[in-house]
Copies of this chain bind each other. A is one copy, B any other.
């Protein structure tokens, strides 16, 4: 069986999604260990987004192939009973054998959240970025418009040795301000290593009037990481959702 799972996690105490050598403290590692125990065989879990250390997820999507006699409801219940309190599988279903959560992903949405009223937002403090100064949100919106479309985002890629294409298409950047928290959501066909965080750091610098809103095209054209802004902290970032073509996830009767 190939199972598709929607996974939520508070990334605060993890070294990110992807297992690395001996580091057990990753979401992928936790999931593989648990599913391996339930299935009684070695299980590989493929995540759609390789979220960094400290990044959260409300809609990480993963798939894993294994066999179990449990019904889907029993399986979901068993997984959530044994996962730690900061990881939750919100949904689980069977998908065609060929389905791969990362390779078949059509669109992903990430959200970056910033406290913009000077408050400490103590109950959400682990899921926010707190800038040193007040931000000019209108200037940030103006700057963000320059990133919507298909561009070479090389300047916004932290992997300097990236050999594959750094062209990505961002279909939508949406701003929402509520109760002193600014949320910026990015929807696109894919994101480079640290891309959303560098985009946010650059927009934050625009909000602090350290950069002009209209200078974004220059940064894109430079194809040079040095020209873009800082990498905004991981704690503000959440993987919201991953979309697929319905034909890829539907099991034919």
Contact = CB atoms under 8 A, between A and B. Distances in A.
Interface of A: 8-10, 56, 80, 85-88, 90, 119-120, 122-125, 127
A80 B10 contact: no
A199 B81 CA distance: 29
Chief secondary structure at chain A's binding surface: mixed
B122 A127 contact: no
4 closest Cβ contacts across the A-B interface? Answer: A88-B120, A10-B122, A88-B122, A86-B122
21 contacts: A8-B120, A8-B122, A8-B123, A9-B122, A10-B122, A10-B123, A10-B125, A56-B123, A80-B120, A85-B120, A85-B122, A85-B125, A86-B122, A86-B125, A87-B122, A88-B119, A88-B120, A88-B122, A90-B119, A123-B124, A123-B127
A183 to B, nearest CB: 14
Contacts of A85: 120, 122, 125
Contacts of A122: 8-10, 85-88
Residue with the highest number of chain B CB atoms closer than 10 Å, among A56, A88, A123: A123
Contacts of A124: 123
Contacts of A80: 120
Nearest to A80: B120
A36 to B, nearest CB: 21
Contacts of A86: 122, 125
